[in-house]
Copies of this chain bind each other. A is one copy, B any other.
Amino acid sequence: MFFPHKEIHALLSNIKIVLVETTHPGNIGAVARAMKNMKMHNLWLVSPKIFPSADATSRASGADDILARASVCRYLQEAIADCQLIIGASARCRTISWPELTPRECAEKVMISEPGNNVAIVFGRENSGLKNHELDLCRYLLRIPCNSEYSSLNLAAAVQVVCYELFIASGLQEQASIGDKGETPLATAAQMESFYTHLYRALTDIGFMHPDKSNSIMRRLRRIYNRVQLDTKELDILRGILRMSQGEGRKRKH
């Protein structure tokens, strides 16, 4: 599902990333960078241990505008007060079974929620995550699939994965990446046939072709060059090579 540019931006703008009692300011900076990479900018900090901090700014590495605009508050309730959809990240297995989402499912949920809705995705402390009374405020629990024997992602790495899925889901992938307009056209089937004829002649000229094996050799070569899907410039180069090998061959015979 692809949204027009303006709406996508609005969509990602409605999502808050909320960090609860982060201990290391470097992690806050790294989270800001991860968010900005994925076109998100709404950062809330609930009782951070140290903020602002030079460590945070340094790790933000150009995303310090996110830090400068970050909202700091004392309790999670304040950060999520205006939100309709609240999702809490957790690495731990909980005894109470909560409705769980993977990052991909979380991104889908967010994208299909009402356009005007505010969304909060809440990440807990580096060592102990979110407490049960904080999860009580969340509608879903977000769990990143990972190695069950080593399951604790770095805070910023977890935010990166979640924001990446949100960005993908928002469909904001720039069309530019699909390839520039000036690209060389692919060779047509007729051009390829003419190449294979040329190839056959050149291989005969250099003495590579034995009449009894030529069919199976040509079949194998076709398999290679059909697979690669040559563009016309590449075809020109290969035909240039064939001409040179033949040209010399012809001189040889005379």
**A212: CB under 8 A from chain B?**
no
Contact B61 A154 (CB under 8 A): yes
| Interface set, chain A 97-121, CB cutoff 8 A to B | 97, 100, 102, 104
Q: Is the CB of B203 within 8 A of A217?
A: no
Contact assessment for B245 and A100 in the assembled complex, using a CB-CB cutoff below 8 Å = no
Measured CB to CB, the residues of A under 8 A from B are 30, 33-34, 36-39, 61-63, 93, 97, 100, 102, 104, 143-148, 150-154, 156-157, 160-161, 164, 167-168, 171-174, 176-177, 179-180, 183, 203, 206-208, 217, 220-221, 223-225, 227-230, 233-234, 237-238, 240-241, 244-245, 248-249, 252
Complex alpha-carbon distance, A30 and B155, angstroms: 11
Oligomer: number of copies: 2
The interface residues of chain B lying within 8 Å CB-to-CB of A241 are 203, 206, 208
A227 to B225 CA separation, bound complex (whole angstroms): 10
Beta-carbon contact of B144 and A164 below 8 Å:
yes
Q: List 9 A-B contacts (CB under 8 A).
A: A63-B150, A97-B179, A102-B173, A143-B177, A153-B160, A156-B157, A206-B245, A207-B244, A208-B244
